[in-house]
Amino acid sequence: MFACVLAAAIILFHVSGFATQEKSIPDHGNFKDCQPCHAEKYKMWESTRHSKAIDRLTSFPKAGADCFACHTTEGFTANLQESKVDPANKESFHSVSCTACHKPGSHSNPKQLVMNSEKLCLECHLQQKMVLEGKGVSGVEDTRSFHSAVKCVSCHMSEANHDMKLFRPDDPKLPEDRLDTCTRCHSDNNRKMRAKQLPDWQEFYKEAMDPVEADMAIISARLKEKPDMLNADLKAKLSAINSNLSTLRRDGSRGAHNLDFALEILAKASKDIKEIKAAIN
């Protein structure tokens, strides 16, 4: 009987001891706190452009607060709070990391995201969404495509992980037993067909973009020699061309997001460029 009582006392002592012992929980104040528990996701993040986002500012020593809002965790967090960071503190900033998109302890959004996933992407990738939806440029009517309603994560997180990769169907390194991003949705077509289609789109885009950029380089050189060669109307057209081309360059998909819209923009640019070149020749 005494042995039973003693055993029960020992068990009670250990249980109460564990109950009062404080748990060691990471404070999540720094993205490196995520690594011990989320090593696999952390490794994936390291391979993404997000982990190198701040590096793109090294060639821009005069980068302002708006640049850091998309290229650093601190700037992104401040932007969500309708504030801005002080670029003077840039040495302490980190690339876009786990804590930029996730708020540990938050349960108002799936995956403890700081906001809805689509809105989260658009905080920095609005140019891509504009092209995808086919709207928001000067002098060109809205031009939707069959991808216009697709969410960012549908293609850029097609494997639902933190690789953030778009797996091209024409990638020779992609194993045959692994679905490419296109075929994952377009299951009615095979990878071979998609592998031809995507490069074709981007070649159409290149064939339209290259002569436009060449002409713009000529115009820029001539205007450096004689800045007052254009009247107000042509200056406005040139400004619109530059703005629209900037949208396409920053989109970065080379026609993949919305080929029809990209070609409409370039056709409009080509038409206006002819008028501008006639005035400077």
pLDDT in tens, 236-254: 999 999 999 999 999 999 9
- Tell me the HSE value of 107 on the side-chain side, using a 13 A CA sphere: 1
> Which of these three, 71, 87, 122, is where a domain ends?
122
The answer to whether position 276 is within a domain reads yes
Q: Judge whether 261 and 132 are in contact, CB under 8 Å.
A: no
- Which amino acid is residue 185, in one-letter code? C
Same domain, 90 and 221: no
The answer to whether position 176 is within a domain reads yes
Structure token digits, residue 3: 């042995």
Mean of pLDDT values over 106-126: 88
The answer to whether position 18 is within a domain reads no
What pLDDT does residue 30 have?
61
> Which of these three, 122, 139, 172, is where a domain ends?
122
Same domain, 134 and 265: yes
The answer to whether position 20 is within a domain reads no
CA–CA separation, 263 and 206 (whole Å) = 10
**Residues 120-162: pLDDT tens digits?**
999 999 999 999 999 999 999 999 998 999 999 999 998 888 8
What pLDDT does residue 31 have?
66
- Could you list the residue range(s) of the whole structural domain that residue 114 is in? 27-122
Same domain, 137 and 76: no
pLDDT confidence band for 25 (50 / 70 / 90): very low
The answer to whether position 46 is within a domain reads yes
Burial 135-153 (b: 16+ CB within 10 A, else e): bebebbeebebebbeeebe
Structure token digits, residue 226: 């004689």
- Per the document, the length of the chain is 281
Strand partners for 102:
113
The answer to whether position 22 is within a domain reads no
Nearest 5°: the CA angle 89, 90, 91 is: 95
Same domain, 249 and 170: yes
CA–CA separation, 127 and 129 (whole Å) = 5
CA–CA separation, 45 and 164 (whole Å) = 8
pTM: 0.80
pLDDT confidence band for 228 (50 / 70 / 90): very high
Structural domain total, the chain: 2
Same domain, 112 and 152: no
Same domain, 152 and 204: yes
* Closest to 244 measured CA to CA, from 218, 224, 270, 277: 270
Same domain, 151 and 248: yes
The answer to whether position 15 is within a domain reads no
3-state secondary structure the chain: CHHHHHHHHHHHHHHHHHHHCCCCCCCCCCHHHHCCCCHHHHHHHHCCHHHHHHHHHCCCCCCCHHHHHHHCHHHHHHHHCCCCCCHHHHHHCCCCCHHHHECCCCCCCHHHECCCHHHHHHCCCHHHHHHHHCCCCCCCCCCCCCCCCCCHHHHHCCCCCCCCCCCCCCCCCCCCCCCCHHHHHCCCCCHHHHHHHHHHHHHHHHHHHHHHHHHHHHHHHHHHHCCCCCCHHHHHHHHHHHHHHHHHHHHCCCCCCCHHHHHHHHHHHHHHHHHHHHHHC
What pLDDT does residue 50 have?
92
Same domain, 110 and 229: no
CA–CA separation, 53 and 21 (whole Å) = 41
- Which amino acid is residue 24, in one-letter code? S
Same domain, 105 and 159: no
176 pLDDT exceeds 50? yes
Same domain, 183 and 118: no
The answer to whether position 1 is within a domain reads no
> Which of these three, 122, 142, 173, is where a domain ends?
122
Same domain, 166 and 111: no
Terminal alpha carbon distance of the chain: 110
Same domain, 168 and 141: yes
pLDDT confidence band for 75 (50 / 70 / 90): very high
- Which amino acid is residue 13, in one-letter code? F
Mean pLDDT is lowest, of 14-18, 46-50, 194-198, for 14-18
